[in-house]
Amino acid sequence: MLFMAKKIRVGILAYDLTEARGGTKLALTLGNQLKKAGCEVAYSCVYEKIKEMEKFFGEKYDFSIYKPKRVFIGNKIVHYTALYNHRKPTLDLIKEFKPDIIIEIGGIITSLFPAIQKKIPTIHYCVVPVSSYVDYNKYKINILQKIQLRFFKNVERFFVKRINVLAAMSGFTQKIIKDIWNAESEIIYPPIKVKDFKATKKKNIILCIARYDPVYKLEEVIEIYRKLKRKEYELHFTSQLSEKDIHYYSKIKSMIKKDEKVFLHNDLSSNELVKLYQKSKIFIYPSWSPYGLIFVEAQASGIPVIAVGKGSGASEILLDKKSGYIVDNISEIYEKLSILIKNKKLWNEMSKQAVKNAARFDVSVFRNKFIKIIKEILRKI
């Protein structure tokens, strides 16, 4: 169904389209959904492997892609070089594609500078303001990064005042935007295609999707599983394995040598992950998250979710005590797991509620919100 009589040209700025993770999928899903609504779409990025992403996510991405011929310094210090590396392809997109509006998705607000200079309407779709990355980041960063990110606070204030619409990926993000930038934003939750997930007959599988990084305390998850002493249950971990995760991954792999029912899955395609969701009975997440697309995917598959993170993304995605449990810390996961394993009636009720709750995050809701905002912006200029 087309939403517009006139085709609107939308430029999307996505710094890196090479990682088979949620951020890349979100950026490419936005493009496909805008095309479905009748827009023309092109991307400006610094890195891309679209063909590999098509294979991984199981979708076709037919977009014009603008990227630099050569990258200055490289991706190791992305925040320092982002503006420089992203500026040229964005200017090429503006010159050749002639967008009516430009959306920066989930990355660095300064990438919108060429669009602001050219007075093209803009949307910044934000997961966390870069300057607050130090405060909300779970991963280790060095002193130079801390200094640079603090500096961004002053730079961001300049840009925020000149952007037409700030969109937040969650209420958690919306609060940070208000606290850091003193700015209003509209929540647009990242989506899933609900129809791609089904609540099929389950096996006794506890599923955990998290990066192989110490902040996720996967050792503690394994100890919780061992403490359960339920030999009929399996514990499955899955993640996209990158070079920087190898050391911790090796540690976890060594730790489970004698655990015949603990499994590590790496680099599963979207289709393979969907199959794992369909078999799994309980989903656990051992850390907080600003949003949590995997919580939606799990619920759409009829899986009750136990997640750490009261006051963060889990609180918005889950219905506490209805479609799962939101806990304060990782040690509470054991208690909730025990309850769900023992109480089959409760599990059935939560599974049904999980499927119903996931429907509010369907891709059609996501698409319609973006189209509404785009039309409102263009109507005003």
Quick one: DSSP state of residue 260?
T
| Predicted local confidence at residue 78, as pLDDT | 52
The closest alpha carbon to 220, from 232, 205, 237, belongs to: 237
Q: 5 CB contacts (<8 Å, ≥6 apart)?
A: none
**Alpha helices, DSSP H only, in the chain?**
22-36, 50-57, 78-97, 113-117, 133-136, 143-160, 171-181, 218-228, 246-255, 270-279, 293-300, 313-317, 332-342, 344-358, 363-380
In order of 24, 137, 193, the CA distances from 131 in angstroms are 21, 11, 32
| Predicted local confidence at residue 2, as pLDDT | 45
pLDDT tens track, the chain, 381 positions:
445 557 999 999 998 999 888 889 999 999 999 999 999 999 999 999 999 999 989 899 999 999 998 887 665 555 556 678 889 999 999 999 999 999 999 778 889 999 999 999 999 999 888 777 666 666 566 777 667 677 777 788 888 999 999 999 999 899 989 998 999 999 999 999 999 999 999 999 999 999 898 989 999 999 999 999 999 999 999 998 888 889 999 999 999 999 999 999 998 988 999 999 999 999 999 988 878 889 999 999 999 999 998 878 888 999 999 999 999 999 999 999 999 999 999 999 999 999 999 999 999 999 999 999 999 999 988
Q: How far apart are CA 160 and CA 110, in angstroms?
A: 10
250: burial class by Cβ within 10 Å (0-12, 13-18, 19+)? exposed
DSSP string computed for 137-206: --S---HHHHHHHHHHHHHHHHHHTT-SEEEESSHHHHHHHHHHH----EE----B-GGG-------SEE
For residue 308, give the 3-state DSSP assignment.
strand
**CATH class of the domain defined by 195-359:** alpha beta
The closest alpha carbon to 210, from 307, 316, 350, belongs to: 307
Out of 3.40.50.1000, 3.30.200.20, 3.10.105.10, 3.40.50.2000, select the CATH number for domain 9-191+362-380: 3.40.50.2000
Q: How far apart are CA 289 and CA 299, in angstroms?
A: 16
Tokens of 297: 């995917």
| Predicted local confidence at residue 302, as pLDDT | 97
Strand ordering across the sheet containing 9-13: 64-66, 40-44, 9-13, 101-105, 122-126, 165-168, 186-187
Q: How far apart are CA 363 and CA 369, in angstroms?
A: 10
Say whether 195-359 and 9-191+362-380 share the same fold: yes
Domain ranges of the chain: 9-191+362-380, 195-359
Does the predicted TM-score (pTM) go above 0.95? no
- Contact in structure between 314 and 308 (CB atoms under 8 Å): yes
